[in-house]
A and B are shown apart, each in its own frame.
Chain A
Amino acid sequence: MDKTIHIKSFVYSLVILSFFAVLFACGQSKKKETTPTVPQDTSTQPSVLSTQEKLLFEKVMHLHDSAMERMGEINQSMKQMRKLSIDTKSSEELKAQARDALEKLTIADKAMWDWMYGFRKKEKWNGKAGDYINYLHKQDSSMQIVNESIITALKQADQILNKTQ
């Protein structure tokens, strides 16, 4: 009987000790890691947005992200078109097509970076209160145009590349 009580209290003490050991060993550093001071401009979803603004903001961002995914491809295609446009093995017709495609790619690329440079989150936007929704609508339209130009330019470059293969 005494022995059973002794074992039980030993196991109980072991569990308590383990708990404190774990807290002591790992708790301190994790606390420090999870409480950073983050500057305001690193927030991605401004809390100042109304529900309608938030929905539209997310729509614009979704479109932006899908266009952004293709920027690596744009860069790659630009390099390929540049190479084709000066390649001595290319026909004059192919060189001209490559130059045209390169120009379209360059315009689409520039339009994308300029759009992002010009885009303002609400906390940095200087327009009239209540007009931010109109601003987002305009940004949505212009992002759609940029996205289209990226798709068209990439398609044109792909067609030229296919001819050379």
Chain B
Amino acid sequence: MKAIAPLFLLFIVMVACNYNPKYKLPIIGQRTLENGEVVDHVIRPFEFVDQDSNTVRNATLKDKIYVADFFFVSCPSICPLMTKQMLRLYKKYKNEPGVLFLSHTIDPRHDTVGRLRRYAGKLGVKSSKWHFVTGERDSIYGIAGDYFIAVEDESGNGDPASLIHSGKFMLIDGSGHVRSYCDGTDPKDVEKFMFDIDHLLQEEKDKNAAK
């Protein structure tokens, strides 16, 4: 009986920490057939400008995982709640080089680079870690469609564009696949989302180590 004690303890710890080494996050979104091959949904190439006037493109985020959301500085309702939760994530992963954050403004007319810089400054976050990006309105809505069409397929909420103000956080892997999402206004949902980030981070590290 004494022999099973350490195994029992290990089991308790694994259950309590929600740890499952075999668990792999699914790739979210519809698969398509291209040239006879099944292709997973992937975020299209993009190019935006961040709070430091630096260009952020797919290559900036390559081989890293990132959390993306859509917000705007003067949003009086859900964005403050989202920012509070995103800050939780930022604080947890700020020393983890494999994780980045990408917040797209959906009000590019008012949210200039300067305004985004002031906003980031107030939050006290590093621009190399958390990019607040702006760009052409059509590009922003276009990329939103790419993120949300994946989410919409799963949730069945209708028009992907209507999700642009839904408060969702999306988790993207190093190859541009949407791997998880959560309600960024719900602290409990964000808590669960952190487990997904941890799992994906480990997966990405394993993948990069094998290269």
Contact = CB atoms under 8 A, between A and B. Distances in A.
A44 B106 CA distance: 19
Contacts of A29: 92
B1 interface: yes
Contacts of B110: 113, 117
Nearest to B148: A72
B14 to A, nearest CB: 9
Among B16, B92, B122, B159, the most chain A Cβ lie within 10 Å of the Cβ of B16
B88 A70 contact: no
A32 B96 CA distance: 15
Given A22-B12, A36-B88, A119-B74, A69 B162 contact: yes
A10 B106 CA distance: 60
B90 to A, nearest CB: 8
B77 A25 contact: no
B75 A116 contact: yes
A84 to B, nearest CB: 17
A76 B91 contact: no
Nearest to A40: B122
Interface residues of A, number: 37
B80 A71 contact: no
B77 A10 contact: no
Nearest to B11: A18
A137 interface: no
Contacts of B91: 32-33, 36
Chain B's interface size range is 35 or more
Interface stretch (B2-10, B44-52, B61-69, B169-177): B2-10
B interface secondary structure, majority: helix
Interface stretch (A60-68, A87-95, A127-135): A60-68
Interface in B145-180: 159-165
Contacts, number: 103
Contact of A73 (B75, B123, B162): B162
Nearest to A67: B165
A63 to B, nearest CB: 10
Contact of B109 (A7, A36, A75, A113): A113
Interface of A: 7, 10, 14, 17-18, 21-22, 25-26, 29, 32-34, 36, 38-39, 41-44, 61, 64-65, 68-73, 75-76, 79, 113, 116-117, 119, 121
Interface of B: 1-2, 5, 8-9, 12-13, 16-17, 72, 74-78, 80-81, 83-84, 87-88, 91-92, 106-107, 109-110, 122-124, 137-138, 141, 144, 159-165, 191, 194
Given A10-B2, A33-B194, 6 more contacts: A10-B5, A36-B91, A42-B81, A69-B165, A73-B162, A75-B141
27 contacts: A21-B13, A22-B12, A26-B13, A26-B17, A29-B92, A32-B91, A32-B92, A33-B194, A34-B88, A36-B91, A39-B124, A42-B81, A42-B87, A44-B76, A44-B80, A72-B141, A72-B159, A72-B161, A72-B162, A75-B141, A75-B161, A76-B159, A113-B109, A116-B74, A117-B74, A117-B107, A121-B76
